Every structure is written in C-alpha cells, then in structure tokens.
Structure 1
Amino acid sequence: MAVTGESKVMDAILNRRSVREFTDRKISKEEINTILNAGRWAPSGLNNQPWRFIVVRDPENIHQLSECTHYSGTVAGAPLLIAAFLDTENSYNRTKDIQAIGASIQNMLLACYDLGLGAVWLGEILNQNEKVNSILQCPSKLELMAVLAIGKPAPGKRTSSRKDLSELAFEEKYGQDWKE
C-alpha cells in the first residue's frame, strides 16, 4: 500500500522505490535533461556544484559497465545509466561535496519518479571505479560516486519499510523518547 503525503513533494519522497527491472522503452532526451536539471539544482556548499555526470545510453558501454558490479542484471537491463562523479579540482570540502552529490542523486531519483520512470542508486560498483572510469574515458580529476540505472519500471510490486521515527530522532538529548 502506498504511503500518502500531504503534497506532491511528500508523495514523491514517500512513494519512490528503487527499481531494478526495466522495460525496453528508451528514455527521451527531454526526460534525460529533466533528470540532469534536477541533479544540478541540488544544494552545495558555496554553490560550488562539485558534481559531474556522464550519460550512458550506448548498449556496448552499458554491457561493459554491467560487468563491473554484482548487480549486472540491473545495469544490463537499464536503457539509461547516469554516472555521478566528484570533480576533485572543484572540491573545497570533501565531506560537504560528497553530501552535495548525495543530494544531487536524490533529486535525480525524485525526478525519475515524477516522470513515471524507475531508478536505483548503485554504490557497489564503486569497487570497480578504475574500470568504470576507463570504460567511460573519464579524466583523472573525476572520482566516481555512484551510478544510477534508469528506465521505465517493469511491472511488479515494490515495497519498503523504515524504522520507527522514535528509533531515529530524539529531543535534544540522545536516547530520550521522541515526543510529538
């Protein structure tokens, strides 16, 4: 059962799910631009926008990248991949910049949901970052942060759960019960 939010934004936040199986439908240039624009409008420290994206649609490159992860089926089945990188030459604070890239990725995932697309944030592929960079012919200043697999979701039910808020949020002193 879908969770209902009080706004379109909350609806997207509460109902977006990671999608790992896709149809063969191609993703349009307009959809790709919408996703990338959502990513570039994320907040970043000093507005330095440390992210760089490589859009991957070529089936051979997708196949090669699928061999860089235990989740090869997900990658190979996606008509679109977006690799997210930290531009180390434009980084001013590594922690803040990595957080900003996380915000950028979340924006892109929410944009996918809004477009009726599915996506999953792949992190395990970082174990093969040098191979990924070689396949994509990246300059050495780009450090791989994640790959998003994107497509029209294949039919199927997707569920998720979260810890109770009382396990995650506390009033001023850690460990005290959360009070509404």
Structure 2
Amino acid sequence: MSAEAILAAIQERRSIRKYTDEPVADEAVRAILEAGRWAPSGMNNQPFRFLVLRREDPRFETLSGLTKYTHIVKSCPVMIALFLDKKATYHEHKDHQSAGACIQNMMLAAHAQGLGTVWLGQMMNNAPQVLEALQLSPDEYEFITVITVGHPAEPGKANRHPLDHYMLEKF
C-alpha cells in the first residue's frame, strides 16, 4: 500500500452513526479484529481483548440501553467491545494509549473494507453495568469502549482546523 493510500484512508474515514440492514461478513469482522491486535502496546504486552456482538445476541439489546446513543446501537448489525485484560496490563496510561491505537486500527480496517464505524466512548460512563451485562469480572477486565460496525446508510461528516491551529510553534 502506498503512503498516499494510507494518508487518504486516515483523512477519508468518518464516524458513521446510521447503518443499513446489510449483514457484515465474518471475514470483514475478522480483518477488523486482526488490525486491532496489531496495534502497538507498551512492552508489547498486548492487553486488548475483544467481544463481538451481533444484533441477534440478547446482550446487544441490553448494551443499547447503556448509552445515550441507543439509536446508533440499534442501527448497527455488529458491535465490537474492547477491554483491557488486567493481568496483561503494566502501566495504566500507556495501556490506555495502546487501546486508542487499537481502536484507530480497527476503524481504519473497517473503512478499508467499505464499512462504517463509530467509537461510543460515552458508554464508558456505564462501565460497571456493561461488565455486568456481559458477565465479565471487573477484577479481570477493564471496559474501554464499543465500536459499532456496519454498512453506512449515510455519509459521515467531519471538519478540521488548519494544521497551524494545532501547532505550539511553527516548524
């Protein structure tokens, strides 16, 4: 893949909040998960753990009630929940940075396959309830987020300030 293609994917990827009813193939989900597992992690500890839920899973409905973005969850055919395995973590800040890289990898992998995603970080506000709904121990796992996945029903929108806005000094 060319540098131009990678940079274009980064700039073209958008958060998608409405999906079609078209199912997402298992192969596409596997490719998304593979991209996530290749994210960098401190000391290569690879603390990521994934749980894939499809709309027909009864836990799907429960999770849709644990976010103010219920309408997004109910629209998507697949959710990928991301956790940190507490036995594999070694530094809270670095492990959370790694989780962010994992999420970005997965979202770019979905985009490369023509799929849309959105990162439901707000669901983290209900982390204890999410772990309970999924019957996962808070002593073993830290809930990070849910990524919704599906075929976009509408284009995403985004804008960015010019690069100079972000610079602390001119380069």
Q: After TM superposition, is the score higher than 0.5?
A: yes
Residue 61 of structure 2 aligns to which amino acid in structure 1? H
Residue by residue over 1:53-94, the C-alpha shift from the partner in whole angstroms, topping out at 9 and shown as x without a partner, is 111114322211110000000011110000011111111111
Task: With a CA cutoff of 8 Å and minimum separation of 6, indicate the structure with the bigger relative contact order.
Answer: 2
78-87 vs 5-14, greater mean Cα deviation: 5-14
Tell me which residue corresponds to 2:35: 38
| Runs (5+) with no aligned partner, structure 1 | 171-175
Give the Cα–Cα distance (whole angstroms) in 1 for the partners of residues 61 and 124 of structure 2: 16
Residue 34 of structure 2 aligns to which amino acid in structure 1? N
Q: Are 1:9 and 2:23 an aligned pair?
A: no
Residue by residue over 1:118-163, the C-alpha shift from the partner in whole angstroms, topping out at 9 and shown as x without a partner, is 0000111111111111121113311111100110000x33221112
CA contact (8 A) 2:84 2:143 kept: yes
Shift of 1:6: 5.8
Matched-pair identity in %: 40
Tell me which residue corresponds to 2:158: 160
Tell me which residue corresponds to 2:135: 137
Give the Cα–Cα distance (whole angstroms) in 1 for the partners of residues 74 and 127 of structure 2: 17
Q: Are 1:67 and 2:42 an aligned pair?
A: no
| Runs (5+) with no aligned partner, structure 2 | none
Residue 47 of structure 1 aligns to which amino acid in structure 2? N
Tell me which residue corresponds to 1:173: none
Shift of 1:169: 2.0
What's the TM-score, normalizing by structure 2? 0.93
Residue 158 of structure 1 aligns to which amino acid in structure 2? G
2:155 counterpart SS class: coil
Give the Cα–Cα distance (whole angstroms) in 1 for the partners of residues 37 and 155 of structure 2: 30
Tell me which residue corresponds to 1:150: 149
Shift of 1:16: 0.2
Give the Cα–Cα distance (whole angstroms) in 2 for the partners of residues 114 and 137 of structure 1: 32
Tell me which residue corresponds to 1:88: 86
Tell me which residue corresponds to 2:107: 109
Q: Which runs of 4+ in 1 moved over 3 A?
A: none
Give the Cα–Cα distance (whole angstroms) in 2 for the partners of residues 158 and 9 of structure 1: 19
37-46 vs 161-170, greater mean Cα deviation: 161-170
Give the Cα–Cα distance (whole angstroms) in 2 for the partners of residues 29 and 36 of structure 1: 11
Q: 1:6 to 1:50 in 2, by over 3 A?
A: closer
What's the TM-score, normalizing by structure 1? 0.89
